[in-house]
Chain A
């Protein structure tokens, strides 16, 4: 299995508090992604990164920010959590260029915002 670790795996927080989810990889893959998964919506891309300090928005980026200061870490921050951000968050990595683009996913982080 690809070396991807998400933390925390479970978190309960209150509306208005900041939350940071961490994705750590040991594969040295260039591309990293954050998705959220909600019933009836499948997986939706929040943000992605194509290198250190290089990030871009996905389809549901409002209310989220990301940072990638090292190849191995991709952080997702909810500046002020809202109940609509209750979801399961998945991190994925990909080698991208020169490879078949296969995505490897973490085990997910379940976030509940009360």
Chain B
């Protein structure tokens, strides 16, 4: 399984763009990159998934460079409600995929 490295914590302010980078140097050819968000006292929920280049949905964007050894989750104009822990996972989301979560990045958005 590809190991991921993320910052433990980040701080931001309302209205700013937040970029959280995840390093996954030993990503395999078939691996996808998936991000989850977890609010306090809740289970994580899926945010976005990508394989290469850029993926965008109504919540976030995911940027993946050509070498795929890292990825960046971008949250545009964050609000207080974006305060959460964000997890980066790498793997093949098929069959006997074993989703492995690390400690994630704790994002705190300040007024």
Whether the pair B99, A94 counts as a contact (CB closer than 8 A) is yes
Whether the pair B41, A100 counts as a contact (CB closer than 8 A) is no
Whether the pair B101, A108 counts as a contact (CB closer than 8 A) is no
- Bound Cα distance from A96 to B93, whole angstroms: 6
- Bound Cα distance from A109 to B41, whole angstroms: 10
Whether the pair B99, A33 counts as a contact (CB closer than 8 A) is yes
- Bound Cα distance from A101 to B102, whole angstroms: 18
Task: Tally the A-B contacts, defined by beta carbons under 8 Å.
Answer: 71
0/1 per residue, B16-50, Cβ < 8 Å to A?
Answer: 00000000000000001010100001111110010
Number of interface residues of B (CB under 8 A): 26
- Bound Cα distance from A66 to B46, whole angstroms: 25
Whether the pair A50, B103 counts as a contact (CB closer than 8 A) is no
Whether the pair B97, A108 counts as a contact (CB closer than 8 A) is no
List CB contacts (< 8 Å) of B71-100 with chain A: 85, 87, 91-100
Whether the pair A50, B46 counts as a contact (CB closer than 8 A) is no
0/1 per residue, B54-82, Cβ < 8 Å to A?
Answer: 00000000000000000000000000000
A76 to chain B, nearest CB (A): 15
Question: Which of these, A31, A45, A98, A99, contacts B100 with CB under 8 Å?
Answer: A45
- Known: A43-B87, A105-B45, A106-B43. Is A97-B101 also a contact (CB below 8 A)? no
Q: Is A62 engaged at the interface, CB distance under 8 Å to the other chain?
A: no
Whether the pair B93, A102 counts as a contact (CB closer than 8 A) is yes
